[in-house]
Amino acid sequence: MFKILKYSFFDLVRSRWSYVYFLFYLALASVLLFLNHDLSKAVITLMNVIIVLVPLIGTIFGVMYYYNSKEFTELLLAQPIKRSSIFLGQYFGVAVSLSLSLLLGIGIPFLLYGLFESDAIWDFSLLLLTGVFLTFIFTAIAFNISLSNENKIKGFGYAVMMWLFLAVIYDGLFLLSLVMFEDYPLDKLSLIGTMLNPVDLSRTLILLKLDISALLGYTGAVFKQFFGTNVGLFLSIGVLCIWVIVPVLRIVAKAKKKDF
Amino acid sequence: MKQLFLIVSLVLLSLSAYSKKIEVRENGKISSIKEAILLAHDFDTIVVKSGKYKEYGIKVDKPLTIIGENFPVIDGELKGEIITVIADHVTLDGLFIINVGTSYTSDYAAVRVVKSKHFLIQNLVLEKLFFGIYLEKSSHGKVFHNKIIGEAVEEYSSGNGIHLWYCKNIEVDQNIVTHVRDGIYLEFSNFCTITNNESLNNIRYGLHFMFSNDDVYRGNTFAKNGAGVAVMFSKRIEMYENIFQENWGSASYGLLLKEINDSKIIGNTFETNTIGINIEGSNRILYKDNIFRSNGWAIKVRGACYTNEFINNQFLSNSFDVSYNSKLNDNVFDSNYWSKYAGYDLDKDGIGDVPFRPVKLFSYIVNRTPETIVLMRSLFIDIIDFSEKVSPVFTPDELQDLHPLMKRIR
């Protein structure tokens, strides 16, 4: 598995798109810091970008990589290598290289700007953590989709739809259901609804840091426990882990059964 | 003859003004303050040497000056009220008063001033108290530089730090009040000035006043209080340069205004409160040069608020800048700085060319269904906020800042 991971990783690291992705974050973070002079404000803006863009890039990259390297995968399948190690190797190759672009792209400008002397360091590391989680989750989902669809166009379509659903439409439906059932106690529902969507989950994780004073404005014991203590933080990170593990397991299961 | 009269009267005056000094020592001839008061004549000075005096129910019924040397401890042994002042021109200075009795039927205080004038209470340290300094129907006094440290746990079994009831022309300056029920409390007290105090970590309000008109609050700090600061049913209040900080919780406000009219709130700082200012039924108030930073809601307008003016304030990274629960608006927002403003300034006069709408659709939704707060900063919410901004349907459409500032006021 590690051999394949290494191969995929270096293949991607050498590719143009990784550089574009890396340079994009580098430019974004530098410009933000240059214009803002305020680390915590830049963290908020970056959060808005990351929770939308990272899933999109992760999805598209994952799908693209799978379909592009399909012939090579078939070649590998002819060798005496375990199927799970081929696909997991490819998956981790993509996810790790994307995460690396993200970490370096955002990390370098912030480090140069004097991150360690500021008190935004925890917010910032949380931001990076959620960015990495989102990359891993959405790449895994993308691999799932492309494994299930032979047709490239269909696969792409589903992947983009999935991103659109989780990033935008889900919140719309969520909001609608909350407003419709406003006569009922909703605090559990709203927290569960958040857990079911990795994008919302990462957003909440950052909200815990940034908007805590507003979040505490709502009277609800469950809310209070979730947002007021560390329970929220640990639970969110735990659920994010589940969001990585489940799709990865499905990749393994699917790859075992799939007929090439 | 006239000269003789003058001389005689001068001599008499100096005799009466001549004040004796009485010393109270732990093991001395006079070993209790009560005894000293009994022996003293009007305008005498009682000097309490350092030591421990187990006394309570000390009644100061003559115009005396009681000064402590190196903070003598007056221990009430939880038996009741410790010092009660019922005469005019009394000065209390430099005492360390502890163990005031707790009662559910009468409000025992460390120092109570009843129907007196021209008193001065300064440099006292109060600990383990029920009520701290309790002023009752008194006027023209000063409470200066005291330190009150309570141990309040529950609202019902604790008292207030500095309590004014039916008072007039009182100055409360440079006191520190922590861990009591209400830090500073005024009821039916007019023409008082509350300046440079620190009221922190109290279990209910940092400052609480009701039915108290024409008071001035300047340069105070109210932080980490259970429910922030609440002011109700008062007129002509002036609040300048106070700091309201870290009042967190669902029923906690930096400043809660209820039925406050014709007042001025100028140059205050509201930082990291759940709600910066909560306004209800308050009219003709001028909000100027205030700074709202990182609050959940900077200003929450509940209703029945008319002809208020918000001018030259700075709204910096609050989760919600202004929230309204109705479509009606009679308040003016003008020339404020909004960190969320995204307009442009083509003529470079420092004023944005597009008006700013501080009320977001999302804040309207959160008002209706509070649980939706979990969707804050979601892309979908940004989209509906944007569409509401373009054509307001739910939020008051005339509520806008026509001259938003481009740069922060420094």
The per-residue DSSP string of B142-209 comes to EEES-EEE----SSTT---SEEEES-BS-EEES-EEESSS-SEEEES-BS-EEES-EEES-SS-SEEE
**What pLDDT shows up at residue B15?**
47
The three-state DSSP-derived secondary structure of B67-124 is EECCCCEEECCCCCCCEEECCCCCEEECCEEECCCCCCCCCCEEEEEECCECCEEECC
Average pLDDT score over residue span B53-80:
92
Considering only CB atoms, B250 lies closest to which of A51, A179, A218, namely A218
**What pLDDT shows up at residue B2?**
60
ipTM: 0.84
Identify the CA nearest to B129 among candidates B100, B154, B149, B102. B100
CA distances from B276 to A219, B200, B224, B230, B319 (A): 17, 17, 13, 12, 11
CA B300 – CA B322 distance, rounded (Å)? 6
Q: Which two tokens stand for residue A21?
A: 């992705």
Q: What is the pLDDT of residues A189-226, one digit of tens each?
A: 888 888 899 999 888 887 777 776 667 666 666 777 77
What is the rounded average pLDDT for all residues in chain B?
89
**Chain A contact set for B273 (CB, 8 A):** 213
- Angle CA(A247)–CA(A253)–CA(A258) in degrees, nearest 5? 115
Q: Which two tokens stand for residue B348?
A: 């470079």
Identify the CA nearest to B255 among candidates B295, B215, B309. B295
Structural contact between residues B362 and B340, judged by C-beta atoms closer than 8 angstroms? no
For A:159-198, CB contacts with B below 8 A are 167-169, 171-172, 174-175, 178-179, 182, 186-187, 189-191, 193-194
Considering only CB atoms, B274 lies closest to which of A44, A169, A214, namely A214
Residue A40 Cα, gap to closest chain B Cα (Å):
10
Return the SS3 of B22: strand
Split at pLDDT 50, 70, 90, the class of A227 is confident
**Chain A contact set for B272 (CB, 8 A):** 213
CA B56 – CA A80 distance, rounded (Å)? 93
Q: What is the pLDDT of residues B154-176, one digit of tens each?
A: 888 888 999 999 999 999 999 99
pLDDT above 70 (res A134): yes
CA B204 – CA B228 distance, rounded (Å)? 7
What do you get for the CA distance between the two ends of chain A, in Å? 20
Return the SS3 of A30: helix
Q: Which helix (H) or strand (E) is A144 found in, with range?
A: helix A121-148
For B:343-402, CB contacts with A below 8 A are 365, 368-383
Residue of B nearest to A167 (CA): B379
* Phi, psi torsion values for A129, nearest 5 degrees: -60, -50
**Chain A contact set for B373 (CB, 8 A):** 214-215, 217-218
Q: Is the dihedral of CA B331, B234, B107, B51 positive or negative?
A: positive
Q: Is A36 on the interface with B (CB under 8 A)?
A: no
**Chain B contact set for A203 (CB, 8 A):** 377-378
Which residue ranges make up each domain of chain B?
A: 55-390
CA B391 – CA B410 distance, rounded (Å)? 34
Average pLDDT score over residue span B69-98:
93
Higher pLDDT, B242 or A19: B242
DSSP for B246-264, written as a single string: ---STT-EEEEEEEEES-E
Residue A193 Cα, gap to closest chain B Cα (Å):
9
Q: What is the CATH number of domain B55-390?
A: 2.160.20.10
- Judged by average pLDDT, the poorest of B37-41, B230-234, B245-249, B297-301 is B245-249
